[in-house]
Structure 1
Amino acid sequence: MMLLPRVAIIGNGQLGRMLKQAGAPMGLEVIPCDPSLDEPVALNPDDVVTVEQELWPDTPRSRQLTAHPGFLNARATQVIRDRLSEKSLLDHLKIGTAPWCNITADHTTEHLALVGEKLVIKRRQGGYDGRGQWRWKQGEPALDEWLGECIAEKMIPFEEEVSLIGARGHDGKCVFYPLTLNLHQQGILHASVAGLPRLEPLQATAEEWLTRIMVELDYVGVMAMECFVVDGTLLVNELAPRVHNSGHWTQAGANPSQFGLHLRAVADLPLHTPQIHGISVMWNLLGRDWSTDWLAVPGCDVHWYDKEIRPGRKVGHVNLNLPNHALLQDSLNQLADLLPEDDRSPLLWALREIQADSPA
């Protein structure tokens, strides 16, 4: 049997758990590691180390993992974890993004107004799922707490939000999934739809941009690129140097999934363009339980994270995959009928998008 490297993951949340599940069929040992602990991990010299999160505490264990010779993507993680260096990278590569500035002591409200009349202030590090962000408009004061801690971006009147999940191997080969349409509310991803033909005209540009980014960073593994669609063109919003929530649909709608693809890439196994089947919807379970009745809906798979349920917390997701628009619409309607009315909006959004994209 071929000897495969073990893959240690910095982070032991749901992404690490799903990476471990994806490694099992290949006989690939995946070790999610809680970076907040002090105890060292028993690593072999030929192990590889990758991440499921961009930030982690400075502990003896995290220092051990990042000092291991098999730690991948140190530069990429360093660049992307800070929105200042991330935005600077996009500008350097001449990739479209919203006008922005770093907020320093020299950036008065007059300077901010030069970026735009309405801005989104974002913490340079941390701040995800809508946290660590403020809205600012001309005439309002700037807050001292932003100085040296935040960037300011022009608020973009986008039509849609999409993401591209791609991967790059040790040999430089890049492969991609089709663009995914996403629904965010208050900065939190609620649902995704993949397999919409109307997004195909944007695919080539998205792939060219993400290729440029991964090559520049000498990146190995899966990376996500979140974008706004503005007047039929793309603007990059954020990058993620890891598997991503908007790629969870690949567990049902692609071979390999983003988790299997990431492991193939970091373990230096062969990559091929993922094979896509049917059309897919992913629905995030936010601060709510689920019902076994959902499993009676054709094409419905539930992924539960075994987390304590708290308001707004991602505790699981549901994937629906069917061969065509009509069958998926039927399943979405069936699942929506099993939910309280105030829980249906992400599924009804997905249903509208699929109906609008259905063949005449």
Structure 2
Amino acid sequence: MAQQNPKQHNVWVLGDGQLGAMLSHAGQPLAINVQPVDIMTPSNERLPLKDTDIITAEREQWPESSLSLQLSEHQHFINGPVFGRLADRFTQKSLLDELSVPTSPWELVDDNTDTSNLHQQYGDRVLLKRRTGGYDGKGQHWLKQAEGTEIPADWRNEAIAEQAINFDEEVSIIGVRTQSGECVFYPLTLNLHQDGILMASISPLSRLDHLQPQAEAMLTSVMDALDYVGVMAMECFRVGDELLVNELAPRVHNSGHWTQSGCHINQFELHLRALCDLPIHTPQVNYKCVMVNLIGADKDDRWLSLPNAELFWYNKEVRVGRKVGHLNLSAHNKAMVDDSIALLQQWMPEQYQAPLAWILAEFER
């Protein structure tokens, strides 16, 4: 018998940046009403929330305001306690240690932390990370024994110290957990960062297949422990055949943007399906995909002339270091990738030459 009066799903998003916009776009074909909310602009407005509405977030932290409080205190703010726990690197790392999920050796930087002891414990290079607020390479400070760098005074009790990892490469995995506890995953993604900012991703890669079970087990452990619902991203260092967790993100993630072009269900739709308790199955990968982040780059309509390119432009003011869009390149064959990258090398500024060369090198392997 056909379902009568199907439920109307209303999802509100804490934040109205590009992730909120892409969630809204993903909801339209499923008739899910997704409403991103600007929580950065002060407002005394009250949102017309219903008891049955669902709340999610596109970011781990947000300023306290009447709007953010109304959303975060709603009874259906999914994963509410998780955001603060994972936004703080101290509590995030503590969780990983409790679950025996491998991560780089670390400790809290407190009033008694001594720089020489950190070097003795972790080596010549030690990375300090602010407990909250750091992203895209911000909120980091290197302690280098050879240069005599010291702990900034205002970082004590506000940062963790990590051992520098001589990793082979950086990978990430995007997974989703349903309300019943089922977990499904996208294939591992290979990532390239430049000055702490993600510049390019490639997925899937058959040479990473043997690491997939390890990554899935690690992320499943985290999501189960948090009773998490929705999409979560896990960024890792690959050291030989072992993975070390670098960061967790309780939301849709930049390194999953390739799924918008390469899979029959992208990460945004998968997140909404989980939140709304709609059927979920493992996404089918249609083809290998390359994602190129557009960082502080002016929009260039020549990109649209590439036969295998999809442009996602965020319509934000272009500023140095700011993510303003991304390009997805379908990679049906090597010749197609070579031709598109060759043109992008001509059209894109100097900061892109190394990432574009990295993409070409991966397809030569």
TM-score, normalization: structure 2? 0.94
Aligned equivalent of 1:60: 66
Aligned equivalent of 1:111: 117
**Matching residue's letter, 1:33:** V
Question: 2:27–2:34: 8 Å Cα contact kept in structure 1?
Answer: yes
Aligned equivalent of 2:269: 260
Question: 2:127–2:162: 8 Å Cα contact kept in structure 1?
Answer: yes
- Is 1:122–2:116 an aligned residue pair? no
**Matching residue's letter, 1:180:** T
Question: 1:100–1:151: 8 Å Cα contact kept in structure 2?
Answer: yes
Question: 1:20–1:29: 8 Å Cα contact kept in structure 2?
Answer: yes
Between the aligned partners of 2:362 and 2:88, the Cα distance in structure 1 is 33
**Matching residue's letter, 2:135:** Y
1:318 corresponds to which of 327, 331, 335: 327
Aligned equivalent of 1:273: 282
CA deviation map 1:247-280 (0-9, x unaligned): 0000000120000100101111111001001111
Between the aligned partners of 2:265 and 2:226, the Cα distance in structure 1 is 24
Between the aligned partners of 1:342 and 1:142, the Cα distance in structure 2 is 31
- Is 1:9–2:13 an aligned residue pair? yes
For the residue of structure 2 that corresponds to 1:184, the secondary structure is: strand
Aligned equivalent of 1:289: 298
How many angstroms does 1:3 deviate by?
Answer: 1.5
Question: 2:142–2:149: 8 Å Cα contact kept in structure 1?
Answer: no
**Matching residue's letter, 2:201:** S
For the residue of structure 1 that corresponds to 2:24, the secondary structure is: helix
2:156 corresponds to which of 147, 157, 177: 147
Question: 1:4–1:267: 8 Å Cα contact kept in structure 2?
Answer: no
CA deviation map 1:322-344 (0-9, x unaligned): 32334333332333343355533
Question: 1:308–1:315: 8 Å Cα contact kept in structure 2?
Answer: yes
Between the aligned partners of 2:110 and 2:349, the Cα distance in structure 1 is 47
Q: What pairs with 1:52-201 in structure 2 (closer than 5 Å)?
A: 52-117=58-123, 118-138=125-145, 139-201=148-210
Aligned equivalent of 1:351: 360
**Matching residue's letter, 1:61:** L
- Is 1:40–2:49 an aligned residue pair? no
Structure 1 residue runs without a partner (length 5+): none
Q: What pairs with 1:201-240 in structure 2 (closer than 5 Å)?
A: 201-240=210-249
Tell me which moved more, 32-41 or 71-80.
32-41
For the residue of structure 2 that corresponds to 1:42, the secondary structure is: coil
Alpha-carbon distance change, 50 to 115 in structure 1, aligned in 2, over 3 angstroms: farther
Between the aligned partners of 1:226 and 1:112, the Cα distance in structure 2 is 24
Between the aligned partners of 2:177 and 2:53, the Cα distance in structure 1 is 19
Question: 1:115–1:153: 8 Å Cα contact kept in structure 2?
Answer: no
Aligned residues: 356
CA deviation map 1:87-141 (0-9, x unaligned): 0000001011000000011211233224312111000000100111000023533
Tell me which moved more, 322-331 or 306-315.
322-331
For the residue of structure 1 that corresponds to 2:32, the secondary structure is: coil
Tell me which moved more, 106-115 or 285-294.
106-115
Between the aligned partners of 1:185 and 1:277, the Cα distance in structure 2 is 28
Between the aligned partners of 1:60 and 1:92, the Cα distance in structure 2 is 35
**Matching residue's letter, 2:141:** W
Question: 1:277–1:323: 8 Å Cα contact kept in structure 2?
Answer: no
- Is 1:30–2:39 an aligned residue pair? no
For the residue of structure 1 that corresponds to 2:52, the secondary structure is: coil
**Matching residue's letter, 1:192:** S
**Matching residue's letter, 1:4:** Q
CA deviation map 1:51-95 (0-9, x unaligned): 100010011111111110110112221210100000000000101
Between the aligned partners of 2:244 and 2:352, the Cα distance in structure 1 is 30
Which of structure 1's runs of 4+ aligned residues deviate more than 6 A?
none
Between the aligned partners of 1:331 and 1:221, the Cα distance in structure 2 is 34
Alpha-carbon distance change, 79 to 190 in structure 1, aligned in 2, over 3 angstroms: same
Alpha-carbon distance change, 148 to 340 in structure 1, aligned in 2, over 3 angstroms: closer
Between the aligned partners of 2:350 and 2:23, the Cα distance in structure 1 is 34
TM-score, normalization: structure 1? 0.96
**Matching residue's letter, 1:92:** E
For the residue of structure 2 that corresponds to 1:213, the secondary structure is: helix
- Is 1:248–2:254 an aligned residue pair? no
Question: 1:329–1:355: 8 Å Cα contact kept in structure 2?
Answer: no
Between the aligned partners of 2:139 and 2:261, the Cα distance in structure 1 is 33
Tell me which moved more, 279-288 or 33-42.
33-42
How many angstroms does 1:144 deviate by?
Answer: 1.5
